[in-house]
Amino acid sequence: MKLHRILRLASTAGLVLPLLPVVASGAELDLRTAGASGTINQAFFTNTDPQPTGSGYIDSFVRLRSNAGFEQGYNATARPVMPDVNTSPTFTHDIRLSNVPVVVNPTGAAAGSYYEFLLDINQNASNPYLTLYALRFYTNPNALTMAATLADLTSAAGTTLRWDLDTGSDSRIQLNYIFGSGSGSGDMYAYIPISAFAGASSSDYLYLYSAFGTEPGGTGTYFEANDGYEEWTSRGSSTPPPSVPDGGNSLALLGMGLIGLEAARRRISRGSLRQASRLNAA
């Protein structure tokens, strides 16, 4: 007997059925058209409007890239990171929950308070679609000390899974690079309800795991990862890496070295100008 007939008979008979488990139906949110938005597991996702581009505006805390059709990983300051994750401490590092802006009643979403994240994807203009097939948010009171595998995050003492795109059913989000073309131009805002983080401290570390492209073993429509990196940011409020073994000092020294070089270059070019004006006067 078909499910809808059972339900109809049951309701006719005045029976109250227990809540049925959610069927893994492959929920798909399609954000490939301008202005598209939608809700999965109380989180709200929307295309971004055109916005300023370039480094500085997008301050990423995790960058992913692979040429194998799919890519996955999460942010952490610990090294090594998962294979598809960019190793630069500038682009991949720990953040705390307090670094993420809270937005009240974002346009189009159900009323409430949400943590806001911005995703910037980079794909070939000729093949601009991309599938986000996994997205999870974890917290931990302590910074991870190892981040080489997914298990280094999920099995670490203190790690709590706060929100998962695939809770209830295997979901995915279809994206279109064309709306935010170029590196540094965002493509999607994700608004995760703060209620999902009940019990977490604002000083807790936040770890964002995501996966893009053609999901291994997945069924349904997937668009593979190509071209440049995908990166997550929290709109101007993600902090620089809290501590980088030696790397911070080296970067600072490198910066001082560059300042010294620039000063020398200016001295030389001032000297050249004086020389040129003497020659002109002669």
Q: Which one of residues 128, 180, 193, 213 is an interface residue with Ca ion (CB under 5 A)?
A: 180
Residue with tokens 């190892």: 146
Eight-class DSSP state of 69:
S
**Residue whose CB is less far from Ca ion, 47 or 139:** 47
Q: Which stretch binds Ca ion (CB under 5 A): 94-102, 141-149, 176-184, 259-267?
A: 176-184
Residue with tokens 């991309």: 130
Q: Which one of residues 133, 137, 207, 232 is an interface residue with Ca ion (CB under 5 A)?
A: 133
- Burial letters for 13-34: b for 16+ Cβ neighbours within 10 Å, e otherwise? eeeeeeeeeeeeeebbbebbee
Is there a cis peptide before residue 52, judged by omega within 30 degrees of 0? Answer: no
Q: How far is the CB of 218 from Ca ion (least distance, A)?
A: 7
**Residue whose CB is less far from Ca ion, 168 or 247:** 168
Is residue 170 within the footprint of Ca ion (CB under 5 A)?
yes
Q: Do the beta carbons of residue 185 and residue 177 sit within 8 Å?
A: no
**Residue whose CB is less far from Ca ion, 184 or 241:** 184
Is residue 185 within the footprint of Ca ion (CB under 5 A)?
yes
Is residue 225 within the footprint of Ca ion (CB under 5 A)?
yes
- Compute how many residues bind Ca ion; rule: CB under 5 A: 12
Angstrom CA distances, 185 to 14, 105, 120, 125, 210, stand at 55, 24, 6, 14, 19
Q: Which one of residues 28, 30, 116, 166 is an interface residue with Ca ion (CB under 5 A)?
A: 166
Q: Do the beta carbons of residue 61 and residue 208 sit within 8 Å?
A: yes
SS3 216: coil
Is residue 66 within the footprint of Ca ion (CB under 5 A)?
no
**Residue whose CB is less far from Ca ion, 191 or 232:** 232
What is the contact surface with Ca ion in residues (CB under 5 A)? 120, 122-123, 133, 166, 170, 172, 180, 185, 187, 225, 227
